[in-house]
Amino acid sequence: MIERKPVVLVTGASGFVGRHIIPMLAREGWSVRRAVRRPDGLDGEVVIPSIGPETVWRTALADVDAVVHLAARVHHKREEHADDLYRAINIAGTLQLARSAAEAGVRQFIFISTVLVHGRSNRGRAPFSENDILTPRGVYGVSKAEAEAGLKALASETDMKISTIRPPLVYGAGAKGNFALLTRAVNLGLPLPLGAIRNQRAFVAVQNLSSFILHRLAHPDPVSNFETFLVADKEQISTPEFISRLARVSGTRPRLFRVPPRLLSSLLGMIGRQEAYDSLLGSLELDISKAIATGWQPQVSLDEGLRLALLAQDP
């Protein structure tokens, strides 16, 4: 008799992290069911037009052993009714999926949260750890923190194992946001006024985030039904050093010049981009010892992660 492969449902399957983790799951022996908004014609697809408090997951969750919930509302804070959208998708939608999964007999649920539940910077403080009191910033961070609280309550009522992962900036081939902007600036040889910055920041290669998800699926906690993890690369370096490493692997020279950090902060505040100071120029150090204690190790170094990020082809 042929043994059935374990089935994992991945939401946000066509997104940046989803496109990286799905081949890794398949190589590890999982049968992957891809939740997508629009069909791509690939195997294992199930169409979920929208995620919210009324989403029906019954068909998608049939015979599923684990869920990796990547889908979320991001980068729309200036949109009309943004708060309502974040709450509907990131909070109510997540909890609707998790409750449906528990009712369907799913054994494990992996939720990708964000380090922003801790805030944007730990300047002057110890590295963030899982035991810190949360101080989320922005509607996205607040929505993820509230979703975490709801999942923790659900875990106390069911037998489903729930793991929450809080990554910092995730970089890799196909990444958007600040990483894409930095890569474009370095490749164009644009001068960047960041040479005087002396911070320490955590980053995580998409390969390392994906490998921790796989490790967690293979090694669920035997006792606790709810655990939270900070996951990052081992090296935590300054923003100028990150740019210099990025330039080196891309075969260019970084064009960094020195502007006093206080002046940069004032300029960013004048144009309404003070959050950019925290996101790029402030410190964001993470204590990843809890993740390491599970037996996981980052799969790639920061330099190797950057090299893979600049490969022309997606995984």
Write out the catalytic residue numbers.
140
Give the sheet arrangement for strand 66-69, strand by strand.
45-47, 31-36, 7-11, 66-69, 108-112, 161-166, 226-230
- Give the pair of three-digit tokens for residue 186: 């370095």
CA distance readout (Å), 107 to 54, 94, 203: 22, 16, 30
Please name the residues in contact with 312: beta carbons below 8 A apart, sequence gap of 6 or more.
Answer: none
* Cα–Cα distance for residue pair 163/216, rounded to 1 Å: 8
Contacts of 123-126 with CB under 8 Å at 24 or more apart are 123/199, 123/282, 123/283, 126/285, 126/287
Amino acid letter, 235? E
Please name the residues in contact with 235: beta carbons below 8 A apart, sequence gap of 6 or more.
Answer: 301, 302
In this structure, what is the dihedral angle of CA atoms 196, 202, 204, 208, given to the nearest 10 degrees?
A: 140
